[in-house]
Amino acid sequence: MSYKLTKIILLIFLIGVIIVSFTACSNNSNQTSDSLPEEINFGILRVPNDETIAMVEGFFDKYFTEKGIKCNYIVFDSGAEANQALASGSIDFATMGNVNAVTSLARDLGVEMIWIHEVLGDIEALAVKEDSGINKIEDLAGERVAVPFASTCHYVLLNALKNVGIEDQVQLLDMKTTEIVAAWQRGDIKAAYLWQPTLGEVLKTGKVLISSKEMAEKGYITANVEVVRKEFSNRYPDLVTSFINMLSEAADIYREDPEKAAAIVAKKLEITPEEALKQMRGSSWHTREEQLSPDFFGETGNPGHFATIMKETSDFLQEQDSIDDSPSQEEFNEYVNPLYIEKSLGKSEG
């Protein structure tokens, strides 16, 4: 064999090695981007909702653990705490009130809203002590009212006070729900706006002055929603769709047998099944199909009314100096994202 031919054969061999190497690297790169995460961090609230049912019934195992993904659950007392965790990148999903979801967008935390757990009604309310002498909203003038700031309760309370013209005559105290119960029991406060299950604790010696259900009828709609970091949803869109499927399956248990669902969540939340059922009936749960209606998410390219509600809430929060800037309606239209609900129903190829 000639020297020249040997060189040609060697060159062909080297080119082949290089091509194989690049192909292998390319395949490894695709494998990394398409592979499943080792773990997912879920920020949750201790409320009787579809997510709590899913936890107790082992649906997280069915949809995630069986794929080799470890599920971590981080309990937050409020959405404000969840936003702090989202800002640090320490959680991937978070349940929060829609008011805190507004804050997520206003603070540019890189998240999107993908689900409505429940539209809030009697599950949140303004409670006053039985012997307080407070019988109507106007009677709160000159009083102190405890409420977790930057929450759905805070938003509804501010509007309730504003509607009767006493928003500047009431001292609001920013407290966690557990702190509110302790202060109530000590006699430090006699009025508070908060949610179940801690609302039930103060109502043992109190009464409801107005509920979020009544305020919703006046146009001040609030809800517990789910957000996800876009970095996660962009990388693992199928897992976000799985999450929607899981919540829908869990919610079906409540729709088909409310008493069974109440018994499921009662032990987890350390309340009676009767109290759990009362709390669950204090909000409205909507199917995937209902959430894609014009009243809520709408559909991709055709935003629903909930994006408008979020914008109106955002504008109000800016007026109250709770946020510096209110995002545009177009930003909210994109933020309230129906894509994963659509994918879960086979309505989207994206």
Return averaged pLDDT per consecutive 10 residues of the chain, 350 residues in all.
46 43 37 73 95 98 97 93 96 96 97 97 96 96 95 94 96 95 96 93 96 92 97 98 98 98 95 94 96 97 96 93 95 98 86
Position 234 in a domain: yes
Domain that residue 72 falls in: 37-119+222-344
In a domain, 260, yes or no: yes
- What integer pLDDT is reported at residue 348 of this predicted model? 72
Buried b (16+ CB within 10 A) or exposed e, 3-16: eeeeeeeeeeeeee
Per the confidence metrics, is the pTM higher than 0.75? yes
Residue 112, beta-bridge partner list:
228
**Both 239 and 334 in a single domain?**
yes
pLDDT at site 349: 61
Nearest 5°: the CA angle 216, 221, 223 is 120
- 147 with 271, same domain: the answer is no
Residues 100, 62 within the same domain? yes
Element (H, E) at 308: helix 305-319
Residue 350 lies in a domain: no
Question: Is the same domain home to 263 and 318?
Answer: yes
Domain count, the chain: 2
pLDDT confidence of residue 24: 39
Q: Could you say which DSSP state residue 215 is in? A: H
Residues 147 and 111 in one domain: no
Among 187, 217, 247, give the residue marking a domain's end: 217
Residue 13 lies in a domain: no
Same domain? For 113 and 231 the reply is: yes
pLDDT at 350: 52
- Measured CA to CA, the distance from residue 32 to residue 54 in angstroms comes to 29
Looking up residue 207, the CATH number of its domain turns out to be: 3.40.190.10
Q: Could you tell me if 288 and 208 lie in one domain?
A: no
**pLDDT on residue 178:** 93
* 143 and 280 together in one domain: no
β strands within the chain, DSSP E: 39-45, 70-76, 93-97, 111-120, 124-129, 144-147, 171-174, 191-195, 206-211, 223-229, 283-284, 298-299, 302-303
User: N- to C-terminal Cα distance for the chain?
Assistant: 57
**Could you tell me if 242 and 109 lie in one domain?**
yes
Q: Do 329 and 284 have their domain in common? A: yes
